[in-house]
Structure 1
């Protein structure tokens, strides 16, 4: 993978609009101080020039120039504040349209309120609509950057085991992007039943502490032979339990009892409950998770789809969802922290259709993307190793929004006991 890293709030949204408005307000408050400084400098200049023998001791030319510079800073600060407010309006407009497009608002009164706010934003400045279109155009161009450089993607179940080449990958990504199939509506649910399944604990240990970085979390996936799932149970001082789930992606196996197979992939992507989803729920329940218990999920590929539905339809309280190479883009509430790692040259991630142009999740939620590498072959952009490398880059980025995730992880430091169990899931 290349080193280009892009961290946004999601889709075309770089940061939360309210965060932008806070910055704009701070700059607006600072602007008058530069005007005051310019006035004070010129007052001092007049005093010095008007005082006999004093001007010879002061560089009055430089002093006057500093007053001019303060005036320039006053103008620049005012302009930056106004432009930042304008960009916040554009981001909010994109978010509001995305909410309506995703049918996020079912209440008529709320829908009217959103329509009214959209009209207000559009009327506030003639540039808002134009900038919205410019923003969305740039986002659309970047969604699949690098995918065209993937020359050979290897055998694929989508093509009956035949090699999947560039043309098929691009056509698939374009068609999905147009239909929005990979973008899940709020409170999305699966139909049918993926069972019966069994989950067998194959490795149990005691963790020392919760993960302290995204990369460390992605390295905690199951290591026991054939294990697809790992659950850490944190017993808190109150006696309550919190759980952290690590779930592998598709397992390339011809064993009909393997629940994390291509059959489950296709079922999940078309909105049907898969054996892998049933197994994921069973593993959490076997580890002791009950309705209402807080769960953090780290998932790759197929399991990222399971994570999306765990947060939207299960009885667990999924407060953190970190996914790598997900074929879908979930719509989650503002009380959930969502971090999506996506490689723009990953054909599996492209099934999400580039995600939604509006942000989703808490204001600290992140969508992290990296550009492609022209020498990528045999599907490496989808592999966990590449996504772990991307996580390392996020950890090193210094992005302040990562503090929200770190705070959630640090809460687990209060646990009085930590137990880790890996599970092998099977179709029955």
Structure 2
């Protein structure tokens, strides 16, 4: 079981290509300095050898040490140059994977932009034909690992041994992976929901004045409303110049039945995943309208579970000016513009998050976007944890805490962006509860 978080730039991409190229440039500089140091030692060695005939014994020992050190520095410089070449090649591989993924995103609604990426793809592959094979391997390795956490849950391993290799969890996991492999969980920019909008009734149920924005990822998750009291929370930050910034927090599934009075039910899950208009999305839209969120005003969205599907479609649509998207255990992942930032928390043992199929192979959103994963299975054989335990908010709060404690600069960048909301002169928070009118 993995307890530590893994922070990546994309599904198959560990770090962004510019960071890799910066590392390569610094390694190149180190290699040059090693060469210079070896050359200086070699000159000093020659000078010492030229005077050995009349030098004391200690000079003989010094010359021998210099010779060994000079050779070691030369060897290190060769190793360093090899690392420079390998790092630059990996940067090119990651860029090729990313370009292909972005082409797939753009092909839905912007074919011209998609084709504009082809020139860079051809330039990369012409310079190094091996990149195609390497990029294919990176994606294949990532695809092969996407569902590892599902089959390693402790409860499933016990059942498998008791039932002579027949794994109930394995059968469920097969259903999840089959759905994910249809790619319904990755939603390109501009994707529209089909069908009529379901009828919902939305009412304001509470209002408060927070002291400021959440100061951490843990605090962000804790501001998500509980479905028993509300399903949507809208915070409005007003600044001294009169401009406003909004954040909407969207709850997860509240009913495992379909067709109930509760809009956050399994019916909405299936409709949203199948790209049909769904009740919880319509309820969230109405809540934003009631909160007075204007289309031109900045809006950040936070969605857990089914709330992640709602957040996804808010992010890929053009109705609102969505800038930052936080997804927790979401079965869908949006294809974002370069001016949008994604923070995705997903447990590899979470069957709901697995419906996203690992998300996009490349990066999505701005360079500050991050994908944060952890296995999320406590491995508690005594209490025989449910297979849905990795999807529970308690587990995601643990992951959020580890992210907050990390030194990753991308995590810090997102937190600095959120801290800018502290400059607001007033903050209001409004909760909304929705139901179907029957």
**Is 2:358 the partner of 1:357?**
no
The partner residue of 2:311 within 307, 324, 327 is 307
Conservation of the 8 A alpha-carbon contact between 2:237 and 2:428: yes
Conservation of the 8 A alpha-carbon contact between 2:376 and 2:395: no
- Distance change in 2, residues 1:55/1:64 (3 Å): farther
| Shift of residue 178, structure 1, vs aligned partner | 2.8
Match of 1:397 in 2: 406
Conservation of the 8 A alpha-carbon contact between 1:194 and 1:276: no
Match of 1:133 in 2: 136
**Is 2:216 the partner of 1:182?**
no
1:371-428 superposed Cα distances (whole Å, 9 cap, x missing partner): 2535542411111111111111111221111122112101101101111222212223
Match of 1:76 in 2: 79
| Shift of residue 225, structure 1, vs aligned partner | 4.0
The partner residue of 2:301 within 285, 294, 297 is 297
Match of 2:338 in 1: 334
Q: Distance in 1 between matches of 2:202 and 2:114?
A: 44
| Shift of residue 37, structure 1, vs aligned partner | 1.2
| Shift of residue 89, structure 1, vs aligned partner | 1.0
- Output the TM-score relative to the length of structure 2: 0.88
Conservation of the 8 A alpha-carbon contact between 2:8 and 2:14: yes
Match of 2:416 in 1: 407
SS in 1 for 2:126: helix
Match of 2:292 in 1: 288
Match of 1:41 in 2: 41
| Shift of residue 300, structure 1, vs aligned partner | 0.4
| Shift of residue 55, structure 1, vs aligned partner | 7.0
**Is 2:221 the partner of 1:212?**
no
| Shift of residue 64, structure 1, vs aligned partner | 2.7
Conservation of the 8 A alpha-carbon contact between 1:102 and 1:185: yes
Q: Distance in 2 between matches of 1:328 and 1:364?
A: 20
- Distance change in 2, residues 1:102/1:315 (3 Å): closer
SS in 1 for 2:30: helix
Conservation of the 8 A alpha-carbon contact between 2:109 and 2:190: no
Match of 1:156 in 2: none
Q: Distance in 1 between matches of 2:35 and 2:154?
A: 58
SS in 2 for 1:333: coil
| Shift of residue 353, structure 1, vs aligned partner | 1.8
SS in 2 for 1:315: coil
> How many residues are aligned here?
418
Match of 1:192 in 2: 195
Aligned residues: CA RMSD: 2.4
Q: Distance in 2 between matches of 1:151 and 1:267?
A: 31
| Shift of residue 129, structure 1, vs aligned partner | 2.5
Match of 1:56 in 2: 58
Q: Distance in 2 between matches of 1:109 and 1:12?
A: 25
**Is 2:417 the partner of 1:427?**
no
The residue correspondences of 1:110-129 to structure 2 (distance < 5 A) are: 110-129=113-132
- Output the TM-score relative to the length of structure 1: 0.90
Gaps of 5+ in 2: 157-166
- Distance change in 2, residues 1:291/1:111 (3 Å): closer
| Shift of residue 352, structure 1, vs aligned partner | 1.2
Q: Distance in 2 between matches of 1:20 and 1:200?
A: 50
Q: Distance in 2 between matches of 1:69 and 1:105?
A: 55
Conservation of the 8 A alpha-carbon contact between 1:49 and 1:55: no
Q: Distance in 1 between matches of 2:30 and 2:392?
A: 48
- Distance change in 2, residues 1:383/1:142 (3 Å): same
Conservation of the 8 A alpha-carbon contact between 1:300 and 1:326: yes
| Shift of residue 332, structure 1, vs aligned partner | 0.5
| Shift of residue 271, structure 1, vs aligned partner | 1.1
> Which deviates more from structure 2 when the two are superposed, residues 121-130 or residues 86-95?
121-130
1:85-129 superposed Cα distances (whole Å, 9 cap, x missing partner): 100111111112223334437656544443333233223224322
